[in-house]
Structure 1
Amino acid sequence: MEIYNGIPATRLDVRWRKSTYSNPSGNCVELARLAGGDIAVRNSRDPGGPALVYTPAEMSAFIQGAKGGEFDDLIA
């Protein structure tokens, strides 16, 4: 199966994970490692909706930026 950005998340045979910081109403982002090593991301409110696919390097850059506070202004 070809994996691409926007693939329906239900077509991916993966185990989705969400943060323990997510709220009880399920408003969170879920992630899953794909067989080839890439990482898929989906919105938990739309589990069958599109999944975005990122390389480990792309996710690392994002996580390091988030840890460093680079996106704090978006939620302030």
Structure 2
Amino acid sequence: MRRMYNGMAATEIDGVVWQKSRLSNSQGDCVELAPLLDGDVAVRNSRFPEGPALIYTRAEIAALLDGVKKGEFDHLAEQL
């Protein structure tokens, strides 16, 4: 199995299914996630699918999702 690392080209991650929110817009401005065979999760920007992927543990993704559900990051989506 190929070693996964932060910043590797997302196109180098074979055999994964990228998923984005059904609420994402039609312009493709989305974050996509893919489960990896070792249990980690890859994240990429859908506008640049060939660009870098960041690799997170399931615990890191769980902490992020918990914070999102609690509204801790709502201020990041507010219009300036």
Instruction: Name the TM tier (shorter chain).
Output: over 0.9
Instruction: State how far apart, in whole Å, the 2-side matches of 1:67 and 1:2 are.
Output: 31
- The C-alpha deviation readout for 1:7-58, integer Å capped at 9, x for no partner, is 1000001111111010011110000000001000000000000000000000
User: What CA RMSD, in Å, does the superposition of the two structures yield over aligned residues?
Assistant: 0.6
**Unaligned segments of structure 1, at least 5 residues:** none
Instruction: State how far apart, in whole Å, the 2-side matches of 1:18 and 1:72 are.
Output: 18
Query: How many pairs align?
Result: 76
Q: Kindly, what percent of the aligned residue pairs are identical?
A: 58
Provide TM-score, normalisation by structure 2: 0.92
Aligned positions of 1:47-58 closer than 5 A: 47-58=49-60
Match of 2:77 in 1: 75
Instruction: State how far apart, in whole Å, the 2-side matches of 1:34 and 1:40 are.
Output: 7
Match of 1:22 in 2: 24
Provide TM-score, normalisation by structure 1: 0.97
Structure 1 segments (4+ residues) deviating >2 Å: none
